[in-house]
Amino acid sequence: MNRADLIEVLAAKHDLSKVAAGAILETLIDTIQNAVKKDDPVQLVGFGTFKSAKRAARTGKNPSTGAALKIPASTVPKFVPGAKFKAVVDPKAAKRKADKAGK
């Protein structure tokens, strides 16, 4: 599914024009990106958490030459799926986890 497909689903499900659905989607994405950029996590209960993560500087290897190179420290976006999202994607794993917690 791509952005256009998502806009179509939003428009159909909520009786919106595609332009309005596109504007809503764009606002949502911009809001999440700006919050994570400011190092504020965005937690959508049941769906997941968007946050920024720090990567330490490390030594890598050039695959062509095998020469060592320094990879500088960086900040990257990270998404951690919520329990409900995980259960939708893999219901068997969610059931196993629930059974294990119940023992």
Ordered by start, the domain boundaries in the chain are 1-38, 41-103
Q: Encoding tokens for residue 62?
A: 């050039």
- Could you tell me the pTM of the whole model? 0.79
Q: Is the predicted pLDDT of residue 98 greater than 90, yes or no? A: no
Q: What is the predicted pLDDT for the residue at 25?
A: 96
* Pairing status of strand 68-71 against strand 58-61: antiparallel
103: pLDDT strictly greater than 70: no
Query: 41-103: which CATH topology?
Result: HU Protein; Chain A (4.10.520)
CA distances from 88 to 13, 16, 22, 79, 91 (A): 20, 27, 25, 16, 6
Average pLDDT over residues 31-49: 96
What's the pLDDT at 61?
94
Name the pLDDT band for 100 (thresholds 50, 70, 90).
confident
Q: Please give the average per-residue pLDDT across 30-59, as a whole number.
A: 96
**DSSP H helices in 1-103:** 3-13, 18-37, 83-89, 91-102
Quick check: 102 pLDDT over 90? no
In the predicted model, what is the mean pLDDT of the chain?
93
